[in-house]
């Protein structure tokens, strides 16, 4: 492994062979390719194996509650919209416990990059089904498989109005690094759902399983500005083929631009408005 | 003694009874009189029954009264609902167009409000007619009345202004014929030292004065009133409000913004606060400042959405799994609210702990004449240590210090990396399961407690040698004070003890203060939560408790009555 | 005294150290010996360091010990991490293939586990080799060892079984050469009166025995263990489990199902419990039975996910806005867990209130030999009043009754309409804002308290005339008892007072019981929450507190040491 | 107004002119047209003006917390799947606070009827913006309009896999009653998003505004079995035309059928399994 200014000396706690290592490497590469420094980035982590990613990157870090990475990122971004925010979340964290925030962040067009490490299982809590678990996959707690039809995150994001929707695969590192960089450069909500094999708990959607199915959209003539086409791609039956790459890209008004007061500068950059407050107080 | 009357204006939701009260309060305030108003309304938008209580006095008032001298009935139900409470010397003004047929007789006066308004140019102004009637009854000069109407409707254009002036005069003409025993002198002048304000506005201004800039919210009565008052200042200040998808998002947004350097406050009520509990703990373990205002209402669950209660004290002190230091306050008046919210923001920043301010529907919605001490202090002073930022990557967000407070830097500033985790963490902010580190971190957080305790004030005591003390907390302060003074006038040797700072308290100091005192708890809950807290901190048992949990304020009259009951037994 | 040794098996997550413990426990149990095991592991799936403690005794055991007589190091770190704790008379067995080079010397024995397993037919069986080594060291006969292996691997097919039999014999052969001072007699027989079980399973079985049929859940350590044990019985029983989208959904599902007539239980940990607080209040105001098991872990927020704590006691008592009666329990052993969960379900149904059972990672994950008193009682008895159903639409879900408990019917049964609201409501269940009704309803709910209080037991007291009492609650019961007996053996006059029923308690009864006693609190939190509760209920102040909040169990040795420290001061 | 066995004597607390009255009437009609009796129905209410609907119907009632009607209904339905469950929720209740449960209920194919009284505003709490509030509508708390792009509930429901998706309008009572009846007869998750004018707080989307735009899909040759077509209809720019009627109908496996134990009978219908539990206990 090459060294990086984003390396930390913390022992990595993921299982050997976990797809997260490749995602971590792709993140480092994407950061370096943009000439970013550790202090330039704020990583927000959910809770789960995916959510641990920020522990292994020398950056600013905000690591809170299960399912609540996006609201935290929203607050940080409103406080200082110059922050370059990348969120690492899991399929359980983001689409399960945090499902409501996922929809809300899209509707806000929150100007961040969301990486969902989608291993189609709850990894850290030992293999329960997640919102993206295959109906055929039994677990200790749902021996007959999940009782809920899997959620299609990309289709959902598209109908909810997301501006940048992509899919990555941990096994395609170069492509992923490129996608991350593109997402970070997109002004507005940019999400990448990243298929990530969980070697410990997901025996169905293995590295090989994905490998056999992924198909780079770049090779198909897909037009990422066409919403119905993007939706059709997102709704491809996942068992047969998995299109990766940018499904959709359409800039809109990013969240910060929806606040007049943030037009000039970040909220953190304003001095204390003592005089104005005095005016208000003397007018009461 | 001075003059002191109460006007009850009742009607249906949507009939604008609060407007009548507001006009009258304006006229009184202009004449240097003191007012106290409070609202009683249902969880609906139209119909039903609501009422507005306006008390006016020639001396400062700290509580409403439930016994009206003037009863204004805009609809037909009002008189029946409230007639029993009317003072024997009082009068009732019934809206003849509101379904109250018949003529004036005895102390009942029937005035056709809509007809008069129509005569003045539009039925819509019938509330202004009503205000005119009452203003005249109270003895206000027409000039004063006109002046208030003029300024109130100025922004609405000349047509509306003219209509309302005509309407108020119509009413005034009728009111002059009504005989009322306790008219006021309206010769005084408005004092620059006084201001009429409700608790919701005071809370909003307190937060702004302390440099809160971010208010994520999810609407919930009665907390919404507070954010509404913040919103009134949008555009004038560097302030961002954001409607969250739910309360969980709101509290996590506040923490995220605070991490990035912006003081943040969320206002909600009990149900929303329940949903914020996990986030409260996150603020605790990450040592990220944040203020939550819980405007209490009766619960549990949906409870009584537009009513009042003081029943979340112990919940606030213990909310969240595991333990961490926090502040809990409960201001007792509108001015106290302003000052307390400022202090809460400042102390939360200073100690890097969450602070909870307990208000309630009664406090947020009741307006009163307050001494105008609403000023920007130095609570906006920054506690963020920029100098540390230059330490670069060796900066440790959770450096162990003697006082437990670690240098706080902002993320993405030139050098420091700021790492924050809701897992237990080492000083650098990264998660750790090490047992010794865990102990060190719990201790680090708790070592702040003595200094935090010193920041808080023990309760205020009145008449230190009384034979018993009416003991309460928060919003009922004024009611307790009034009841106490009333009892003393009747020769009953009552004092009061009132808590506004509630956690963490100096247990020994409190014990010293309370030992030997006979306490009668006065609280808006069913189990005497403050009484329980006192017992917990000091081992002292209270004598009796006056508990009110019907969703309505603890009117002074109620306290007086119950004290007499207790004494009779 | 009998023989009593502790085996510590350490290694990385994923190395299967628990399997070694389980095999050894099986061998001991078959010989009528008593076992107590507990697990210490990190919040990760592979790597790092975890260890399994297995204590074996010829007499009943109620706690683990942290001082091993046999240290089994599967990986290279284990020995270094634990060597200091090894008894001077103890031995260490190091896995020569685990990075521990060198030869056996002194009390250190190096065994090439993988090599031996490979010789036996497959490296995968190296844990079985390790079990064989230790079994031989402890003095077990090969027949007993073989029998356990045979039955353990029966279901896996003959090949696996044969491999493991060969492996265990390889290990056994090595172990016979190791000299150990305290071998056991394995001549006894398995007693039908004894069973080895962990707390998680006991909780699950207790719920099932009390006819709980619905378990909505959202995974959260250590609560997940409990639902996992329920899941093991799916298909055999009329039981439905459903993975919820979040904890809020889980608790509201439980209430919905309970309304429709199915006993429901949710198991979670502190963070999930925080999210359930609003729903807890809904159960309170709608008087819908429901049981929440909060398997505590250190917090606040994410805290230490796989560790243990006893720090949610006061939170559990006060959780939710406003007030309503609830039960809070904290069982002290595995058998107590079974019985307590049964009682919690039954009492929740009987009084139509929510019940909270506090467990923790230590209790859920530790297995021990218990008296086999795991039997179906009559807690499944139905409290639903079918007769009332025929009242048709005049049926009132919240009829005011003398004892506060209203007849509960099921919806959509032949006649009654069952209306339930989380708003304050009239007896028919429809929302109402009426003040007198509100008071009547709060009183109706609280009038249950005296009877609820009578259902609960005051703490158990041991040696009523001791000079001081180790006082604790819940899962640390066994550790306190062992520590106490140990102190008494050393001539120190200690007693114990242990709470398992925690709310609502008979304050006067407790005061009578505790007056004059010197209490040393022993708790897994930083503020002595039980000590606070005792002060709250009785005014009695404790003498000292042994508090442990490092996320690890309160081992008896720790208590003994700290008592001596206290006595020395 | 005609009388109905579903009438109650509770005073109705809605504002005169509120669209909810017509929804209430349509519900009564739909119930009567199916010959249902009060005891046959379980109404679950959210919190809000919409959530009050069950107060005004003589039925069984479960009225809990803001945003949590669907989880409650899920629990009730698992306990006794023979219950005929109708949920009355608001746009705030269902798509705001309850957004995560909305997605989850669809993925479960929960066999209930969900009526969302969509007045595009928070009515009961006095007119704050809701997830469906128009960007042009200022409120006291969001004077410049909402900062989030409105959510499209029908499109979202369709992409999430809902089996019965319809839109109604309180001003078209007959149609609405028919839709409700159809929804109740659908085995699986059936939702009707019902536009409902709020005369007190929504001055943009008034009765007239809707009236001018609604267009019955029955008159357009729409094929409700065609998902892409349904999606296209759902995504019609709402300002210009509002298609009402059944957008999509496709039966799937309802939630209760996903549990083996519920195949024979409802969970409530099983006797206590004392013997089996004794077996389990004696096997430990
Ligand atoms: C409120 C709360 N509920 C539950 C948990 C337990 N928990 C931690 S991680 C996790 C699942 C994570 O799954 P996912 O987001 O898919 O991450 P992965 O581990 O698979 O990367 C859960 C349920 C928690 N920490 N907090
Ligand atoms: C946890 C919680 N948060 C907030 C509220 C306050 N609240 C009650 S109703 C409501 C909005 C209702 O809006 P909607 O669902 O659209 O219903 P409508 O009144 O418009 O019919 C809110 C925010 C609450 N009761 N509980
Ligand atoms: S459990 Fe799965 S997701 Fe977690 S670290 Fe291991 S392989 Fe990766
Ligand atoms: S506020 Fe709006 S939604 Fe509520 S009752 Fe009135 S008109 Fe209907
Ligand atoms: Mg996952
Ligand atoms: Mg609405």
- pLDDT of A270: 97
Is residue C247 in some structural domain? yes
- pLDDT of A238: 67
Is residue B101 in some structural domain? yes
Which strand (E) or helix (H) includes residue C514? Answer: helix C507-514
Nearest CA in chain D to A259: D147
Poorest-pLDDT segment among B50-59, C454-463, D1-10, D13-22: D1-10
Residue C542 is part of a domain; what is its CATH number?
A: 3.40.50.920
- pLDDT of B391: 66
Rg (CA), chain A: 19
C-alpha dihedral over D79, D81, D83, D86, to 10 degrees? 100
Residues from chain D that touch B46, judged by Cβ atoms under 8 A, are 14-16, 200
B130 and B175 Cβ atoms separated by less than 8 Å: no
Confidence of residue C183 (pLDDT cuts 50, 70, 90): confident
Among candidates C301, C424, C529 on the partner chain, residue whose Cβ is nearest the Cβ of B282: C301
Contact A47 C302 (CB under 8 A): yes
Whether B222 and B346 map to the same domain: the answer is: yes
Residue B341 is part of a domain; what is its CATH number?
A: 3.40.50.970
D14 lines ligand 4 (CB under 6 A): yes
Name chain B's partners: 3 or more CB pairs within 8 A.
A, C, D
Query: C263-284: per-residue pLDDT in tens?
Result: 999 999 999 999 999 999 999 9
Helix (H/G/I), strand (E/B), else coil: C371: strand
In the predicted structure, residue C100 carries a pLDDT above the cut 60? yes
Query: C329-369: per-residue pLDDT in tens?
Result: 999 999 999 999 999 999 999 999 999 999 999 999 999 99
Whether B101 and B245 map to the same domain: the answer is: no
Is residue C71 in some structural domain? yes
Give the position of tokens 């195949």. D263
- pLDDT of C30: 96
Contact B286 A64 (CB under 8 A): yes
CB crowding D114-134: b at 16 or more within 10 Å, else e? bbbbbbbbbbbbbbbbbbbbb
Query: D238-265: per-residue pLDDT in tens?
Result: 667 899 999 999 999 999 999 999 999 9
Whether B163 and B15 map to the same domain: the answer is: yes
CA of A198 vs chain C CAs: smallest distance (Å) = 11
In the predicted structure, residue A23 carries a pLDDT above the cut 60? yes
| Mean pLDDT to the nearest integer, D57-83 | 97
In the predicted structure, residue C412 carries a pLDDT above the cut 90? no
Name chain A's partners: 3 or more CB pairs within 8 A.
B, C, D
C-alpha A95 – ligand 5 centre gap (Å)? 10
Mean model confidence pLDDT for chain A: 96
> d(Cα C142, Cα D264) in Å, to the nearest integer?
50
Whether C216 and C75 map to the same domain: the answer is: no
C356 and C326 Cβ atoms separated by less than 8 Å: yes
> d(Cα A9, Cα B257) in Å, to the nearest integer?
28
| Mean pLDDT to the nearest integer, C68-79 | 96
Whether C158 and C275 map to the same domain: the answer is: no
The secondary structure of B129-171, three-state, reads HHHHHHHHHHCCCHHHHHHHHHHHCHHHCHHHHHHHHHHHHHH
- pLDDT of B394: 80
Among candidates A49, A131, A141 on the partner chain, residue whose Cβ is nearest the Cβ of C227: A141
Which strand (E) or helix (H) includes residue C159? Answer: helix C158-175
The stretches of C420-476 forming alpha helices (DSSP H) are: 435-446, 449-455
CA of A51 vs chain B CAs: smallest distance (Å) = 11
Whether B21 and B149 map to the same domain: the answer is: yes
In the predicted structure, residue A127 carries a pLDDT above the cut 70? yes
A48 lines ligand 1 (CB under 6 A): yes
Closest ligand to Cα D64: 2
Is residue B386 in some structural domain? no
Whether B101 and B238 map to the same domain: the answer is: no
A123 lines ligand 1 (CB under 6 A): yes
Mean model confidence pLDDT for chain C: 96
Of B491, B512, B506, B520, which is closest to residue B449 (Cα–Cα)? B506
Query: A248-281: per-residue pLDDT in tens?
Result: 999 999 999 999 999 999 999 999 999 999 999 9
ipTM: 0.98
Q: Which of B191, B249, B263, B282 to mutate to test the interface with A (most CBs of A within 10 A)?
A: B249
Residues from chain D that touch B243, judged by Cβ atoms under 8 A, are 128-129, 141-142, 146-148
Residues paired with residue B503 on neighbouring β-strands, in sequence order: B328
Q: How many residues does chain A have?
A: 284
Q: CA separation (Å) from A146 to A132, C227, C247, C385, D79?
A: 10, 15, 17, 36, 19
Is residue C20 in some structural domain? yes
> d(Cα C450, Cα B155) in Å, to the nearest integer?
61
- pLDDT of C390: 64
Task: Name the region of C57 (left: φ>0; alpha: ψ -120 to 50; beta: rest).
Answer: beta
Domains and CATH numbers, chain D: 20-282 (3.40.50.970)
Query: C519-544: per-residue pLDDT in tens?
Result: 999 999 999 999 999 999 999 999 99
C-alpha B429 – ligand 3 centre gap (Å)? 23
Is residue B229 in some structural domain? yes
In the predicted structure, residue A1 carries a pLDDT above the cut 80? no
Helix (H/G/I), strand (E/B), else coil: C128: helix
Task: Write down which residue in B175, B205, B237 finishes a domain.
Answer: B175
Task: Write down which residue in C322, C340, C371 finishes a domain.
Answer: C371
Q: Which residues contact B223 (CB under 8 A, 6 or more apart)?
A: B217, B267, B268, B269, B272, B293, B294, B295, B364
Is residue B184 in some structural domain? no
C375 touches chain D (CB under 8 A): yes
Among candidates D84, D104, D261 on the partner chain, residue whose Cβ is nearest the Cβ of C249: D104
CA of D176 vs chain B CAs: smallest distance (Å) = 25
CA count, 13 A, side-chain hemisphere, D74: 34
Supply A199's token pair.
């070697």
> d(Cα C234, Cα C236) in Å, to the nearest integer?
5
pLDDT tens string, chain B, 569 residues long: the values are 579 999 999 999 999 999 999 999 999 999 999 999 999 999 999 999 999 999 999 999 999 999 999 999 999 999 999 999 999 999 999 999 888 778 888 899 999 999 999 999 999 999 999 999 999 999 999 999 999 999 999 999 999 999 999 999 999 999 999 999 888 999 999 999 999 999 999 999 999 999 999 999 999 999 999 999 999 999 999 999 999 999 999 999 999 999 999 999 999 999 999 999 999 999 999 999 999 999 999 999 999 999 999 999 999 999 999 999 999 999 999 999 999 999 999 999 999 999 999 999 999 999 999 999 999 999 999 988 766 666 666 899 999 999 999 999 999 777 789 999 999 999 999 999 999 999 999 999 999 999 999 999 999 999 999 999 999 999 999 999 999 999 999 999 999 999 999 999 999 999 999 999 999 999 999 999 999 999 999 999 999 999 999 999 999 999 999 999 999 88
In the predicted structure, residue D282 carries a pLDDT above the cut 60? yes
Of B3, B32, B363, which is closest to residue B193 (Cα–Cα)? B32
Contact A268 B260 (CB under 8 A): yes
Task: Write down which residue in C371, C403, C428 finishes a domain.
Answer: C371
In the predicted structure, residue A242 carries a pLDDT above the cut 80? yes
For C201, the domain range is 197-371
Q: What is the residue-wise DSSP string for chain A?
A: ----TT---SPP-SPTT-THHHHHHHHHHHHHHTT--GGGEEEEE-SSTGGGGGGGSSSEEEE--TT-HHHHHHHHHHH-TTSEEEEEEEHIIIIIITHHHHHHHHHHT-SSEEEEEE-SSBTTTTSB--TT--TT---SS-TT--SSPPP-HHHHHHHHT-SEEEEEETT-HHHHHHHHHHHHHSSS-EEEEEE---TTT-SSS-HHHHHHHEEEGGGTT--TT-HHHHHHHHTS-TTT-EEEEEEEE-----GGGG-GGGTTS-GGGSPP-HHHHHHHHHT-
> d(Cα D238, Cα D241) in Å, to the nearest integer?
6
- pLDDT of B388: 67
Query: D172-221: per-residue pLDDT in tens?
Result: 999 999 999 999 999 999 999 999 999 999 999 999 999 999 999 988 99
Whether B123 and B241 map to the same domain: the answer is: no
A175 and A183 Cβ atoms separated by less than 8 Å: no
Is residue C222 in some structural domain? yes
Whether B232 and B346 map to the same domain: the answer is: yes
B269 and B360 Cβ atoms separated by less than 8 Å: no
Whether C161 and C228 map to the same domain: the answer is: no
Whether B253 and B207 map to the same domain: the answer is: yes
Number of compact structural domains in chain C: 3
CA of A161 vs chain D CAs: smallest distance (Å) = 8
> d(Cα A129, Cα A137) in Å, to the nearest integer?
8
Residues from chain A that touch C48, judged by Cβ atoms under 8 A, are 11, 13
Residue C143 is part of a domain; what is its CATH number?
A: 3.40.920.10
Whether C84 and C226 map to the same domain: the answer is: no
């Amino acid at each position: 492994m090459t060294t990086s200014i984003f390396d930390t000396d913390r022992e990595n706690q993921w299982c050997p062979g976990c797809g997260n290592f490749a995602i971590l490497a792709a993140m480092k590469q994407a950061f370096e390719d943009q000439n970013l420094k550790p202090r330039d980035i704020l990583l927000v982590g959910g809770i789960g194996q995916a959510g641990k990613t920020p522990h292994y990157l020398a950056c600013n870090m905000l690591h809170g509650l299960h399912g609540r990475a996006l609201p935290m990122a929203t607050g940080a971004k409103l406080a200082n919209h110059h922050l370059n925010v990348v969120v690492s979340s899991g399929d359980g964290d983001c689409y399960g416990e945090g499902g409501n925030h996922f929809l809300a962040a899209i509707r806000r067009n929150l100007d961040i990059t969301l990486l969902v490490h989608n291993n189609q299982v709850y990894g850290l809590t030992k293999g329960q089904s997640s919102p993206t678990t295959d109906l055929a996959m039994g677990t200790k707690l749902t021996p007959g498989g999940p009782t809920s039809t899997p959620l299609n995150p990309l289709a959902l994001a598209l109908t909810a109005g997301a501006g940048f929707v992509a899919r990555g695969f941990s096994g395609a590192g170069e492509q992923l690094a490129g996608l991350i960089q593109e997402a970070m450069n997109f002004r507005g909500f940019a999400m990448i759902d990243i298929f990530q094999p969980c070697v410990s708990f997901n025996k169905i959607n293995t590295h090989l399983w994905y490998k056999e199915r992924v198909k780079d959209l770049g090779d198909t003539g897909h037009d990422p500005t066409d919403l119905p086409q993007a939706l059709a791609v997102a709704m491809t039956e996942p068992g047969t083929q998995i299109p990766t790459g940018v499904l959709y890209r359409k800039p809109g008004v990013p969240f910060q631009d929806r606040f007049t007061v943030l037009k000039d500068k970040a909220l953190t950059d304003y001095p204390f408005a003592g005089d104005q407050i005095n005016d208000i107080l003397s007018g009461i | 003694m001075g003059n002191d009357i109460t006007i009850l204006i009742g009607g249906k939701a949507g009939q604008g009874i609060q407007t009548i009260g507001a006009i009258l309060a304006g006229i009184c305030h202009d004449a240097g009189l003191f007012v106290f108003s409070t609202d009683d309304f249902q969880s609906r938008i139209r119909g039903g029954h609501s009422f507005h209580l306006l008390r006016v006095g020639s001396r400062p008032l700290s509580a409403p009264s439930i016994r009206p001298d003037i009863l204004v009935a805009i609809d037909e139900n009002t008189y029946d609902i409230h007639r029993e409470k009317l003072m024997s010397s009082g009068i009732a003004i019934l809206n003849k167009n509101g379904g109250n047929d018949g003529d004036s007789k005895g102390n009942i006066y029937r005035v056709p409000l809509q007809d008069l308004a129509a005569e003045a140019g539009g039925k819509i102004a019938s509330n202004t007619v009503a205000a005119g009637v009452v203003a005249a009854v109270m003895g206000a000069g027409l000039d004063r009345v006109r002046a208030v109407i003029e300024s109130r409707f100025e922004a609405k254009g000349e047509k509306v202004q003219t209509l309302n002036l005509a309407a108020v005069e119509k009413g005034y003409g009728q009111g002059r014929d009504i005989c009322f025993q306790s008219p006021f002198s309206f010769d005084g002048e408005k004092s620059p030292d006084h201001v009429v304000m409700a608790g919701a506005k005071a809370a909003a201004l307190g937060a702004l004065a302390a440099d809160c800039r971010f208010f994520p919210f999810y609407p919930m009565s009665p907390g919404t009133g507070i954010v509404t008052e913040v919103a009134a200042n949008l555009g004038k200040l560097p302030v961002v409000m954001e409607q969250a998808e739910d309360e969980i998002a709101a509290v996590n947004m506040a923490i995220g913004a605070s991490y990035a350097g912006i003081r943040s406050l969320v206002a909600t009520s009990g149900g929303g606060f329940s949903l914020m509990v996990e986030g409260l703990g996150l603020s605790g373990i990450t040592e990220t400042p944040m203020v939550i205002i819980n405007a209490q209402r009766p619960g549990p669950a949906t409870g009584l959405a537009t009513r009042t209660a003081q029943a979340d004290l112990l919940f606030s002190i213990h909310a969240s799994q595991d333990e961490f230091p926090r502040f809990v306050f409960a201001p007792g008046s509108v001015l106290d609210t302003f000052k307390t919210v400022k202090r809460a923001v400042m102390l939360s920043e200073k100690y890097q702990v969450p602070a909870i301010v307990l208000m309630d529907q009664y406090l947020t919605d009741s307006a009163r004449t307050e001494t105008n001490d609403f000023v920007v202090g130095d609570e906006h002073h920054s506690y963020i240590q920029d100098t540390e930022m230059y330490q670069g990557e060796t900066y440790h967000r959770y450096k162990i210090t003697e006082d437990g407070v670690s240098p706080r830097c902002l993320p993405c500033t030139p050098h420091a990396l700021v790492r924050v985790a809701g897992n237990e963490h080492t000083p650098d902010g990264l998660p750790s399961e090490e047992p010794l580190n865990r102990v060190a971190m719990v201790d680090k957080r708790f070592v702040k407690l003595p200094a935090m305790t010193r920041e808080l004030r023990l309760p205020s005591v009145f008449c230190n040698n009384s034979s018993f003390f009416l003991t309460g907390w928060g919003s009922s302060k004024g009611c307790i004070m009034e009841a106490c003074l009333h009892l003393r006038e009747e020769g009953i040797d009552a004092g009061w003890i009132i808590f506004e700072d509630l956690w963490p308290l100096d247990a020994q100091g409190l014990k010293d203060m309370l030992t030997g005192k006979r306490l009668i708890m006065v609280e808006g809950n069913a189990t005497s939560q403050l009484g329980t807290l006192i017992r917990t901190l000091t081992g002292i048992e209270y004598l009796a408790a006056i508990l009110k949990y019907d969703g309505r304020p603890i009117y002074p009259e109620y306290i007086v009555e119950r004290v007499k009951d207790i004494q009779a037994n």
